[in-house]
Amino acid sequence: MKIPENSLLRSYRYNHADSYKQTFISDRTDINSTTVGKLFFSSGPKWMDRLFMLRNRLVKVFGLKTSGDLKDREEQLNRFQCEPGEQLGLFNVFEKNDEEVIIGEDDKHLNFRVSLLLNNTQKPQKELIITTIVQFNNRFGRFYFAVIKPFHTAVVRSMVKGIIRELQVYK
């Protein structure tokens, strides 16, 4: 799937893009980009935390940025408002409107952005689309992404399902 036409990501430069969409039913009117942004950080499976801890240990050797300590994540999430300029773990919030939040990071090997886009297509039908773009800064960035791409795909697909599962029980 390509970058959605109504995504803020359309103005960014990139070498790679992927997008995953899932439709769901909800009569709720209070679900917005802040809700989705917070759920991005709290609805993932436990195996993902272990995968990120392993990633942090491995990339530290190469001087790449890490997501920091995951132990105080719940406290960080409670304070997190998903506003531009905020950071949670490895992710900075770059842009936000009612339907979409753009998070990501710039590092020496690559820059990435993740769009969390909530489309209210035909009520009560909604779509959640997670799009990732990557700008490679050097050969190591291309190599690094080639190595992590299978993990990236599994993580994003799992995130879409986890966020939707939470949105359907969200109170």
pLDDT in tens, 122-171: 678 899 999 999 999 999 999 989 998 988 898 889 889 989 988 877 54
pTM comes to: 0.83
Q: Which class is 8-169 in CATH?
A: alpha beta
Distances (CA, A) of 61 to 57, 67, 154: 7, 14, 24
Task: State CA 55 to chain mean position distance.
Answer: 16
Domain ranges of the chain: 8-169
Q: DSSP characters for 74-116?
A: HHHHHH----TT-EETTEEEEEE-SSEEEEEEE-SSEEEEEEE
Say if residue 101's pLDDT is above 80.
yes
Six-digit token string for 108 = 């020496």
Q: What percent of the chain has pLDDT over 70?
A: 79
